[in-house]
Structure 1
């Protein structure tokens, strides 16, 4: 069992908690693998009707742990981050996210595949791929322009700068902003409301919402994945990633 991902089932709800608060819940390969497995088992468990994603402490996730990422670079479509995203895309049950503190990189793009997202008023988002010599992932190059409009999507992806919860709301990344003290309560209420719905009607409704874009989303995941791996092994990305690690040290 992974200690960096906590899985808790209560009633019809499975809560996955990214659990590296000392690292702002930055993802390691182990965390990706544990999260993928938890999503896959939730998918086939008839007792689970809703999945909740959250982070321990005052952060959602700082994205990839760069040190771990450099030591274990993605090499293809079976890389743990891509398998995690695919498991999230394939999840037929509603996924609710509670975002507090930072949501960096994949911590922001994964929200595009959630069905209801609540953020605290102190949440801060960013997709800094370009600053690391990389490119968009998580089908964000497809979905973000559709949800945010091309102008805002270009601004967020090409500059890679942090943005606040109000901008995330305007971009269609989240559904609601609440005071940090109310985040847990609001997310629990919304998750319970979904869990109380007729389960098959809930599944079919999500499928009808998501299915028209599924082929395009899967194609974007594959295309972005190919380009991401190319970028990751480029001199430009190696230099920026090493510079980032040296600054951290």
Structure 2
């Protein structure tokens, strides 16, 4: 496994650490493949009872690596990101997330599929899809209004502004804000506590707490179709080219 996605299994918990701090843990397709492997392994192995996702140093995930995203040939086959999307939507075991710092784009929307989310006071969140010329993904156009209400969701999605950990807690994006030094120990202890609980009862409860799965999967497919269409548009291509332009 790549050092950019570290996977460790202990005491019933599969811990995934995004480890590309020089790029703020921006996801490449290789990193998506590693993340997909961890999700699929969690789903398949009876000894793994909980998934924990975290970042390294002072960042969680700053979204997609746009250069990597644009450099992949169109005919290269299915993207590993599709495995992550479907894996998160289908995972019937509990998922915990520990957010140290930036959580942008996919780094924010993947948290919507977690059951328990803890954040450091320094964490900052952003849904920048409109500003990048695309649309929300990973079911977030359904899940964000489900969590915060339609009008607040429109504000977060349309304006694409940063919001801090305290706001994320108030909106219901995160369960609790935890001091940075206690964040990962707290999340790990919680994941291990979940791993010790009756597995079938926990799965059934997670299923009951989720929004309607067919509707979520249908929305994810709708988002993906529009996202792909938007990527090819002149508007979005110009935005992405400007993002990649060397800064002086």
TM-score surpassing 0.5? yes
Which residue of the partner structure matches residue 101 of structure 1? Answer: 101
1:79 deviation in Å?
Answer: 2.7
Which residue of the partner structure matches residue 241 of structure 1? Answer: 240
Which residue of the partner structure matches residue 79 of structure 1? Answer: 79
> Under a length normalisation based on structure 1, what TM-score does the superposition of the two structures give?
0.95
Q: Per the alignment, do residues 176 and 193 of structure 1 end up closer, same or farther by CA in structure 2, a change over 3 Å counting?
A: same
1:136 deviation in Å?
Answer: 0.8
Contact 2:11/2:192 (8 A) holds in 1? no
1:83 deviation in Å?
Answer: 2.2
Which residue of the partner structure matches residue 185 of structure 1? Answer: 185
Cα distance in 2 between the residues matched to 1:218 and 1:92: 14
Which residue of the partner structure matches residue 231 of structure 2? Answer: 232
3-state SS of 2:59 partner: coil
Residues 36-45 or 75-84, more deviating: 75-84
Contact 1:130/1:157 (8 A) holds in 2? yes
Q: Deviations over 1:40-87 (max 9, x none)?
A: 111110100000000111100111011101112778994322321110
Contact 2:15/2:52 (8 A) holds in 1? yes
Cα distance in 2 between the residues matched to 1:6 and 1:103: 18
Q: Which consecutive residues of structure 1, in runs of 5 or more, have no partner in the other structure?
A: none
Q: Per the alignment, do residues 76 and 30 of structure 1 end up closer, same or farther by CA in structure 2, a change over 3 Å counting?
A: closer
Which residue of the partner structure matches residue 122 of structure 2? Answer: 122
RMSD of the TM alignment (CA)?
Answer: 1.7
Q: Per the alignment, do residues 116 and 33 of structure 1 end up closer, same or farther by CA in structure 2, a change over 3 Å counting?
A: same
Which residue of the partner structure matches residue 142 of structure 1? Answer: 142
3-state SS of 2:61 partner: coil
Which residue of the partner structure matches residue 55 of structure 2? Answer: 55
3-state SS of 2:6 partner: strand
Contact 1:55/1:100 (8 A) holds in 2? yes
Cα distance in 2 between the residues matched to 1:80 and 1:236: 26
Cα distance in 2 between the residues matched to 1:188 and 1:39: 17
**Superposition map of 1:6-45 within 5 A:** 6-45=6-45
1:22 deviation in Å?
Answer: 1.1
Q: Deviations over 1:134-166 (max 9, x none)?
A: 111111111111110111100110011111012
Contact 1:119/1:178 (8 A) holds in 2? yes
Q: Per the alignment, do residues 73 and 139 of structure 1 end up closer, same or farther by CA in structure 2, a change over 3 Å counting?
A: farther
Cα distance in 1 between the residues matched to 2:168 and 2:145: 13
Q: Deviations over 1:89-134 (max 9, x none)?
A: 1111100000011001000011111000000110000011111111
